[in-house]
Amino acid sequence: MPSRFPARRDQQLVQIVDAALADATRRAGDWLACRPGCTQCCIGVFAINQLDAARLTQGFRKLKSLAPDRAAAVHQRARDAMSRLSASFPGDPVTGILAEGEESRRFEDFANDEPCPALNAQTGLCELYDSRPMTCRVFGPPVRSEDGLCVCELCFHGATHEQIQSCEMIVDPESLEEHLLAELEKRTEVHGSTIIAFCLGLLN
């Protein structure tokens, strides 16, 4: 997968999103509660796309070369999570690809209390922070979705709707992620979403 991963263009995407986060953080000030050690966004399973999975894979292999003990712990946590989740996984537990259509509704109530295997419970930090999925990168500031403007429940206490709206994070205005994802899926012929535990647990 790494040879087919558009690393340079993905880094451009990461820079765009991180710059948007920095700008939203500046505007939010003390309303944004996100700090090292806060693990609110590290609990509960969420879908990641194949671009996220490729980035995580690359990050894991880098960690494995630099800190093999930490990488082994991440991998073991991912394998343990797979064992716990496989029986009720709303998709294919062999490939880790989530189901689509009607079957995907089961995902709403799936593993909402499951910690991310990349989370180091002792430090409260992410072992793959630089390679984290886009969902992790945008969690906290106001981000617009189909349900409206969404924020972390720990943030913006006491802020009015107008104040929250003024801190909205414009994540990817040129839709670069969409183009890179389509390109990657075409190259690898692997389509669909997965979760972090399966992405990392299925690695050799």
Examine the pLDDT at 91 and tell me if it is beyond 90.
yes
The Cα 126–Cα 37 span in angstroms is: 9
Burial class of residue 29, CB neighbours in 10 A (0-12, 13-18, 19+): exposed
Total domains, the chain: 1
Whole-angstrom Cα Rg for the chain: 17
The Cα 80–Cα 64 span in angstroms is: 18
The Cα 168–Cα 148 span in angstroms is: 11
Q: Taking residues 11-30, report their average pLDDT.
A: 96
The Cα 133–Cα 53 span in angstroms is: 8
Phi, psi of 179 (to 5 degrees): -70, -40
The Cα 116–Cα 95 span in angstroms is: 19
Each residue's pLDDT tens digit, 180-196? 999 999 999 999 999 99
What's the CA angle centered on 138, arms 197 and 85, to 5 degrees? 20
Alpha helices in the chain (DSSP H): 7-28, 50-66, 68-85, 134-138, 161-165, 176-188, 196-201
Each residue's pLDDT tens digit, 122-151? 999 999 999 999 999 999 999 998 888 999
Q: Taking residues 16-42, report their average pLDDT.
A: 95
The overall average pLDDT reported for the chain is 94
DSSP state of 89: -
Choice between 108 and 47, residue whose per-residue pLDDT is larger:
47
Q: Binning pLDDT at 50, 70 and 90, where does residue 105 land?
A: confident
Domain span at residue 179 reads 2-34+43-201
pLDDT at 2: 44
